[in-house]
Structure 1
Amino acid sequence: MRNTTKTVTVALTAGALALGLSACGTENGASKDGPLIVAASPVPHAEILTYVKDHLAEKNGLELEVKEFTDYNTPNLSTQDGSVGANYFQNQPFLDDFNKKKGTDIVPVVTVHLEPLGLYSAGAKKVGDIKKGATVAIPNDTVNEARALKLLDANKIIELKDGVGTEATPKDIAANPKGLKFKELEAAQLTRALGDVDAAVINGNFAIAAGLKPAKDALVLESPDKNPYGNFLAVKKGNEGDPRVKKLAKLLTSPEVKKFIKDKYAGSVLPSF
């Protein structure tokens, strides 16, 4: 039987987290004597962790608890204040940006998988079907917005200015042959907005959670070759040596987990090890 804790998050501020969670943080999250509590996005991260919990953890001496969050801020803040011992939901460019903006010191432990970013449409069957002047929704966080624009650039839908990095915005578009209009939305809202726009660039985890099959349904899909956006297990700096974290890192990169990812996600999530 699963023993997964699901937490539906709303707009919590860092201050509210500090007041509401820090009192029990060390005892329940970062204490090395109890279960390792890991904050994760529901799909595929929590599913992968739950597979580890149900099939691998006990026989390897690991007590694991999975805590689900639906936003991209709370997992790192909860890891920083000790409410959880680790998290699994993000990539390196996102973490670098988060640490810089929030003053946190979260570090990666091991990279597990890649969720290719994709362009989806409720009406178009191929990129050529997207009409001139169409509205395309993209994530509004710094890293994923740039990633979305780079996906469109790589597929010659737009052209970005030379040298644009991980902070690209629509202002950095050098050429826009279709005259596309861009609507910036929170990443978690993009699947719900798909019927209200002509197309949307959606993160793999949210696409899968909404019943989309990236390998089949995306008009264009991010290439895994030399891709810097692999998702990893992360902890607060200094906790990399926690024996529980080391055990989980080993299990997350085991042959059993690789097979689980390949079988369950059929190319929509790709193992990175």
Structure 2
Amino acid sequence: MDMTRLRSLLYLPANRPSAIAKAHTLAVDAVILDLEDAVQPDAKPDARAAAVAAVMDGGWGDRVLFLRVNGIGTPWHGDDLAAAQTQGFAGIVVPKVDTAAEATDVVDRAGGRPVLAMIESPAGVLNAAAIAATPGVAGLIAGMADLAKALNCGADANRMPLLYSLSIIVLAARAAGIACFDGVCTEYRNEAAFRAEAGQGKLLGFDGKTLIHPSQVDPCNAVFSPSADDLANARAMIAAYQAALEAGRGVATLDGQMVEILHVEQARRLLARA
């Protein structure tokens, strides 16, 4: 599976049957059944069993299912990894991965399931390239709430204090040829704020965004999907380049802009994503 095609990834508490039922009706690309932050310690075993039951019950259609396990070193981590090997889970989301050694340990115990490593700490950011290059790691997820706390940075609607870290995560993923997903926007009642943050994430190069509320799914899909104008421009670019080749030229122009093979490759990737 090409995880770079995923636009919207919705976290759901695994022990919330109503939320899981609602997810079956959403146009979300992926669902992350959560055993970590959304579940209290005494409820974690029951949440794990509920997650397994949810994936085995089926009815998810084209939606991709992940399990977010509890962190490395917690009492629940091993049992969560075992549960994630249930048929139907496409991969495992692992919080607070700080080093390549931790990523390797998780991959070794993941039973062949792809791992999405969450980068949520200064150490994780500094080691992002090595984590991304670990065989078996299929993607990186930005965890900006924990990182902002660790950095002791101020709140900012434009995420200025976090832009360096966000870009490092994208760079690490691209260097390794894997997917990368932006962190959550907690302002789920403010669609304008969400669209602005999602647009920033797309501009930085993220493939999609993690979500915390069903209301964010449709705006997220809209932001991370090519627009009609984008598609038309891509087709025109390819056509202009092809016409230049047929005329014996290696470079074309479109609306006063030079079109080279790298632009054509980008246009083809855009059309494939659409």
Higher CA-based Rg: 2
Larger relative helix fraction: 2
Higher strand proportion, which one? 1
